[in-house]
Amino acid sequence: MLLIGGCDSSSEYAESSAGMESVQSATEEVADSEMVGIMSDVAADNASNGLEVANLSSTSEQTLGSQAADIKIAGKALLITASADFKVEDVVKTSDAIESLTRQQAGYVALSNISNHPRDSRTFVQGNKNITITTYTRQADMTVRIPRANVSKFLAQLQQQVAFLNGQQFSAQDVTLDIYREQLASQLNSDMASELSQERLSSKNDKDQGSNVDAITATYAARRQQELAKLEQLAIADKVQYSTINLTFMQPDISYKETTQNLDVLLDAEQPSFSSQVSQAFKDGWEILRSVALGLIQLWWLLVLGGIFYLIYRMIKAIYRKFFKHDPRIKNMKRELMGENPKSHDSVGIQSSQEEDYSNNMKEADSKDNKHSN
């Protein structure tokens, strides 16, 4: 029963699509004259830009379009998508023409983005001006939604804007089972919600009434899933009814000149004279000297602290020389700290003292002999 219902709904969808196609075919004839005028204006502008593309290797030429756009299979719902990358004479004018063409084919523009990408920039000085020459590439990305019945005609009219086709892609996806799946899910959730509501209403005792909260929660969850399934079904139907076409196109490199004031020339003109610079240098030197002097004055406490430590050092040194310099115990302590033998130093000291006494005695004896001889 569910599959039959799905087939019925798909047949209704096919009838509605056929009706819409008849209305669109009636409007196409009215719009053809306007589109011819638009395309002729754009073609004239493109010819003035000077971009010419000629095929030198073979006689075949790749054109924008595919038989996949016109394919129709009984009992099948096909989702048609296409993408194309090509070169044009003028991106802005081509974008306007595509928007007009989309409206004429009962479609709409889902995305339109035009961007400039700089490739080279050079700057040179001319007098007191800076001249900058910048070369950039202009590119556009557009996404249009066209009724499936008008895709072939849209692509045929778009071919007039294509100077060189870099590449194109077409796909036809069978979504018939997806539609039936969403219909089945919607029907099952609807039946589940009805049964839960009936069970909740038929409960009479307290025990059954206590479970009403769970039944209500489950009922609303089932209804929510039913609505989500319907929304998904509508989304798939919209994708089938309106084909998505992604377009990427660019134009030849464009160069523009930018003129700005040369700051170096302005600075040279406003630079002070030599005498003014000398005067300013003296002022700057005086400021530096004053800053150094003030910095030293701020360190007065270091000078006072250094003087106090120096006086304490002199006092300690004087006391040491007066009381402890000739003390033998201090000498022995120094020798022990230096790792020397104090006894050897004592013997050496005794020997040296004896030698000094002997030399002194000899000097006294010589002096006495000299006196007697005189």
pLDDT tens, position by position, 109-138: 999 999 998 888 888 888 888 889 999 999
User: 276-332, pLDDT tens digit by residue?
Assistant: 888 888 899 999 999 999 988 888 888 899 999 999 988 888 887 777 666 666 667
Residue 35's nearest CA partner among 80, 84, 97 is 97
Helix (H) / strand (E) containing 169: strand 164-174
Q: Give yes or no for residue 236 having a pLDDT over 70.
A: yes
Answer yes or no: is 304 within a domain. no
Q: Residue 362 pLDDT more than 50?
A: yes
247 lies in some domain: yes
Does any domain span residue 146?
yes
Highest-scoring range by mean pLDDT, 59-68, 201-210, 291-300, 343-352: 291-300
Residue range(s) defining the domain that contains residue 87 = 23-258
pTM: 0.50
Of 106, 108, 77, which is closest to residue 233 (Cα–Cα)? 77
* Closest listed residue to residue 22, CA positions, set 147, 158, 154, 176: 147
* Residues whose CB is less than 8 angstroms from the CB of residue 237 and which lie 6 or more positions away in sequence, other chains included: 13, 77, 179
The answer to whether residue 263 is domain-embedded is: no
53 part of a folded domain: yes
In a domain, 301, yes or no: no
Instruction: Report CA 216 to chain centroid distance, whole Å.
Output: 49
Let me know if residue 186 belongs to a domain.
yes
Q: What is the mean predicted confidence (pLDDT) over 211-219? A: 65
> How many structural domains does the chain have?
1
Residue 52 in any domain: the answer is yes
CA atoms within 13 Å, Cβ hemisphere of 205 = 2
